[in-house]
Structure formats: C-alpha cells, structure tokens
Chain A
Amino acid sequence: MRNIKNNWLVQVIGFVLVLIMTGLTAQGLSRIMPPYYLQIGFFIGINVIMALGLNLIAGATGQLSLGHSAFMSIGAYASAIATVTLHLPFPVGILLGGLAACLFGIVIGFPTLRLSGDYLAIATLGFAEIVRVIFTNMQITGGAIGFLGIKNLTTFPVIMILTVAMIAVMMWLENSRNGRAMLAVREDEIAAESVGVNITWYKIQAFAIGSFCAGVGGALFAHTTTFIQPTDFGFMKSIEFLNMVVLGGLGSIPGTIIGSVVLTTAPEFLRFMANYRMLVYGLLLIIMMIFRPHGLLGGFNFRQAISRALFLGRRIRQGAKV
C-alpha cells in the first residue's frame, strides 16, 4: 500500500510536470508561430476538448446527442457573463462555464435519458434549439445581436494545458471501473444491469462530464473570438462535433483527437477552393462514410498496436526473423 501511495505521488508530480512542459512549449510556440497558424491551433484545442466530451457521451456510453453545441453555448455565455458582467477572473469564468453546462447536462439528462436511440437524439436536438432561441431573446446575453466586449483572455498555453489535461482524464476514465461501466451501458444495457451497473447513473455521469467539457470549450471559444452570438451554436455546429467523433472512430480517444484535428484544419486546407469548400466537405463526409464507416481508425487499437510494435522491436533485437 505504501509503495502504491508513493507511486501515486510520483505520478501526480510527473503529470504536473507534463502540464508545465506543455504550457512552456505552447508559450514558446505562440511566440514564433504566425498568427494564422496559431489561430488554427486555438481552434484545434477547443475542438478536441469539445469532441472528447461528445465522445464520452456518444462514443463511450452510446447515447447519441445532437445538442452538444447547446452546452457549448451555455459555457460560452456563462463565462462571458462571469468575466465581463461580474468582473471575475478568467479561470473562474472557465470553471463557471463548465459547471453551468454540466448543471444543464444533468437537468436535461434526468428526464431525457429514459429515451433511447433516435428519440434521445431528437430530444437533445430540440433542447439545443430551445437554448438557442432563449439566448436570442435574453437581455443579458445581448440577444440576437450577440455578446460584445469579451476580453481576449484565452492564450495558447491555457488551451494546450487544458487540452492535454482533458485527454489524460479521458484516458484514465476509460481505463477504470467507472469507464468500463459506461462502455457496458453502450454495449448492452440489460446485460450491464444484470451485473450491477446502474445504467441511469452512468448515463447521467457521461452527460455531466461531456457537458462540462463542452462548457469549458465554450468558455475558451468565447474568450478567443471575443464576440459570440446564438447562431454560432446552431444545429450544424453540433453536427460538426459529431462528425469529428465519428470520423476518427466512435468511442476511440485517439480517433476523436485525429478527427478533430482533421476537421478543424480541413476547411483551412480547402480554403483555396473558396466557395466550393463546403461542397467538398459535404462530399467528403459521404465518401468517408461509404468507404470507412467506422471512422479513419475504425477498430484500430492504439494500445495493442503500440505494445505490438514494442514487442516486435524486442524480437528484432533478439535477432528473430520477422
């Protein structure tokens, strides 16, 4: 036990060091990178956080949500109100954004998670539309005109540290009793219950954590663009995140990261096509689904591949023929 405790301390310190290194590297990069690329870097980070949240809900726990952008908008507006209206510091704003979204995730989750499959999808879609309409008509959010005057507080190190932390947390979660219970809910609800998994509890948990991620992503987004309006968080935005998760391979964390990076940079790469950009994007989605329906990584097991590669390396060193 003592040994484990010491190990744990070493791990915690190691993790903090990794975060500090990430922050420093990002700091350095932000000095030398051209603003255009840096901007893309910002959005990659935000989208990875957003997509990881959705991956937990849709990929790991199997609950199709078409309203992820609503939670993002709740986080964005909550954090903007916190920093602009209430003059709170930015980290508090991020936290409040995350918590506000998380709270709504739980409130929405309780009644709607009884629904299954497509019905849940349409309920979350409806919820997202309602949130958008409410934000359009609220005074404090600036209504349809949008929320002006948000300070540009998001920095590259902040985004990168949060992204790395989020990836780590998601990977740890996936490999725990808690995460396995979520996977069980996705695979077979009845079988999961038969071994003692309280399916409602894990669905709510997934919604809460996923929404928290979306809220944090929204807070970072608001303080990057400095101006938000309800149309930023429409139905198509939710679909974009779903695409990121599915493109990489539903339920796979590395897949989600790759999907987010690809889909964030793809419009930039396609920029030379000007007006034809979205046309190609739509086509790519269709082609992608036809030829790689399980995502770019579809069923590719990272951990296994790495250990296999390492094992192979050892065998080669030992002089075995491959």
Chain B
Amino acid sequence: MKDLMQQLINGLALGSIYALIALGYTMVYGIISLINFAYGEIYMFGAFTGLILAATYKTNVVVALLGGMMLSLVLGVLIERVAYKPLRRSSRLSALISTIGVSIFLSTLMVLLKGPNTQGFPKLFENKVYAIGNFQITIYQIVIIGVAAFLMLALHLFVTYTRTGRAMRATAQDQDAAGLMGVNIDRIIATTFAIGSSLAGAAGVLAGIYFNAVQPYMGTMAGLKAFAAAVLGGIGSIPGAMLGGLMIGLLEVLSVTVNLSEYKDAFAFGILILVLLVKPSGIMGQKINKKV
C-alpha cells in the first residue's frame, strides 16, 4: 500500500508532463483537426532552451522555464506560419505530412547544433526529499506538479473567461460561423499554436530537470504518448487531455511496479486502443452524430 501511494506520486509527476504536452495536441486538434506531429520536437526544443539557459548562462529555474516557454511559443507560431497556414485549404493528410516534415527538420537541426548524445541537466536547486506520512515526495516532483497545475489552471481560466478564449471555443465549434461573427480565425489559430507550444516548452524544461537527460530525439516518444493521452481523454477536450496525461503517467509508473517495465510503452498504447474500441471518442470526448 505504501508502495502504491509512492508510485501514485511518481505517476502524478510524470503524468503532469504528459498532460502539459497533451494539452497542445488537443487544443490544436480541437480547432483545426490537425495532428501536429512536430509537437514532440517543440517540447524537445523547450528542453534544450532550458538546458542552454541553465548551463551556459547559469540562469535560475524560473528564467530557464520562461525561456523554454518563450522559444517554444515562437517556434510554434513559426511552424503554423510556414508549414500549416499555406495548407489550410488542402487535405488534412497533406498538412499532417507537412508537420512530419517539420518534425524531421527540427530533430535533425538539433542533432547538428548539439550533437546526438544525451546531455545532463545542471542542478538548478537542491533536490530535497520530504516524508509525508508513509511516503516521500521530492522537491522536483512538487515543482513539476505545482507548475503543471498552475499552467493548467491558468489555461482553464483563459479559455473560459477571456474574450480570446471564447473566440477559441467558438472557432472549435464552427470555424466559418465564428469567422462570420467577426472572430479573426487566423489570429485564433496562431494563438492556439502559441499557447500549446509554450505549454510543451514548459513540459520540456520540467522533463529535463526531472530526468536529468535531454537529447534531440526525446520528443518523438514523448509526443506519441502525449498524443495517445489526448486521444485517451477525448481529443478536443481540455480536461480530457489533463486526465489522459495523468492516466498514461500513472500507468507507466505502475507497469514498473508490477515488474513489466519493458512493456511500459506497450501499456500506454494498449489502453489507448482498448478505450478507443469501447468509446471511440475517448473518455471525455463528445460523440459526433453522423449526418446522413
């Protein structure tokens, strides 16, 4: 039991990272039905930016985190401009392949810039261990869960209460109708990319601190799993992405507990397929009625 609680905390920390990335997938998908495969690479760029800021410029953790988010934001907007916007009226498959092109480009670029090897993350602050009752929680975990919770809350408030947030929700429902109501669709799409990307950047920096490992291909698997998390929770749904991320994180940690760590990647996708078969729209997704 004690072990289980401990694993729950570990899973929560890992899940928070997945949830942050999954939010970007779900927001972009919700608005333009595009699976942005370059997303994992944005996360990777965020991690590297944090690393460079912390290692080379010796900045503190807040600056590293904000720096990672800022660069990812710019990158996200750039990707939208260059690789998605010209394809808005083409088939979705073309847009998807274009994002795959971006993904290949970005990971190769990072290999060229920083080499293909895994790099450690400098210690930004002392990692203390706190014992609460029977289980332990590290400062790193507190920071990750705290930052993730804060960002998700901020996102929730933004989407629910601001004018831009309302415009985003309207655009997700019906792009043309929102446009006719005076919503600047181009700006909303760019904003969505920007927000999602900055969340992925934050996740990248947090993952760098947590795992103490950053490398150019780290985005592929994390991206796929976060995408799985988004679909699991119900793609297009923001609470769904959070839930899905936490579930995938917990599942991964639990598979280690039951000595099946070699299969942890398979578990995430196995559950995903099972959920899709039972409820194709995901746990919190809404069923779309087929119109004849």
Please tell me whether chains A and B touch each other in their complex, using a CB distance cut-off of 8 A.
yes
Q: How far apart are the CA atoms of A246 and B95 in the complex, in Å? A: 11
Q: Which residues of B contact A115 (CB under 8 A)?
A: 276-277, 280
> Is A24 positioned at the interface, with any CB of B under 8 Å from its CB?
no
Size range of the interface on A?
A: 35 or more
> Is B155 positioned at the interface, with any CB of A under 8 Å from its CB?
no
Q: Is the CB of A129 within 8 A of B269?
A: yes
Given A278-B108, A279-B109, A289-B94, CB of A137 within 8 Å of CB of B263: yes
Q: Which residues of A contact B269 (CB under 8 A)?
A: 125-127, 129-130
* Smallest CB gap from A285: residue in B: B101
- Count chain B residues whose beta carbon lies closer than 8 angstroms to a beta carbon of A: 43
> How far apart are B272's CB and chain A's nearest CB, in angstroms?
5
Q: Is the CB of B262 within 8 A of A285?
A: no
* Best-buried of A111, A121, A289 by chain B (most CB within 10 Å): A289
Q: How far apart are the CA atoms of A137 and B33 in the complex, in Å? A: 35
Q: Is the CB of B273 within 8 A of A243?
A: no
> Is A34 positioned at the interface, with any CB of B under 8 Å from its CB?
no
Q: Is the CB of B101 within 8 A of A136?
A: no
Q: Is the CB of B101 within 8 A of A282?
A: yes
Q: Is the CB of A129 within 8 A of B97?
A: no
Q: Which residues of A contact B35 (CB under 8 A)?
A: 118, 121-122
Q: How far apart are the CA atoms of A137 and B95 in the complex, in Å? A: 35
Q: Which residues of B contact A289 (CB under 8 A)?
A: 87, 90, 94-95, 97-98, 101
Q: Which residues of A contact B83 (CB under 8 A)?
A: 286, 290
Stretch of B50-58, B122-130, B224-232 lying at the A interface:
B224-232
Q: Is the CB of B276 within 8 A of A123?
A: yes
Question: Which among A129, A136, A283 is the interface contact of B224 at CB below 8 angstroms?
Answer: A129
Q: Which residues of B contact A127 (CB under 8 A)?
A: 269, 273
> How far apart are B226's CB and chain A's nearest CB, in angstroms?
12
Q: Is the CB of B93 within 8 A of A275?
A: no
Q: Is the CB of A111 within 8 A of B101?
A: no
Question: Which among B82, B220, B262, B276 is the interface contact of A286 at CB below 8 angstroms?
Answer: B82
Interface of B is mostly: helix
> How far apart are A250's CB and chain B's nearest CB, in angstroms?
7
> How far apart are A45's CB and chain B's nearest CB, in angstroms?
24
> Is A107 positioned at the interface, with any CB of B under 8 Å from its CB?
no
> Is B63 positioned at the interface, with any CB of A under 8 Å from its CB?
no
> Is B133 positioned at the interface, with any CB of A under 8 Å from its CB?
no
Binding site for B on A (CB under 8 A): 64, 111-112, 114-116, 118-119, 121-123, 125-127, 129-130, 133-134, 136-137, 190, 235-236, 239, 242-243, 246, 250, 275-276, 278-279, 281-286, 288-290, 293-294
Binding site for A on B (CB under 8 A): 29, 33, 35, 82-83, 86-87, 90-91, 93-95, 97-98, 100-106, 108-109, 111-112, 220, 224, 227-228, 231, 235, 262-263, 265-266, 269-270, 272-273, 276-277, 280, 292
What would 23 A/B residue contacts be, using CB atoms closer than 8 Å? A114-B280, A115-B276, A118-B33, A122-B231, A122-B276, A125-B224, A126-B272, A126-B273, A127-B269, A129-B266, A133-B266, A134-B266, A235-B224, A242-B97, A282-B102, A285-B101, A286-B101, A286-B102, A288-B101, A289-B94, A289-B97, A293-B87, A293-B91
Beyond A130-B269, A279-B105, A282-B103, 13 extra complex contacts between A and B, CB < 8 Å: A118-B35, A122-B35, A129-B265, A129-B269, A133-B263, A250-B93, A275-B111, A282-B104, A282-B106, A285-B101, A286-B98, A290-B86, A293-B94
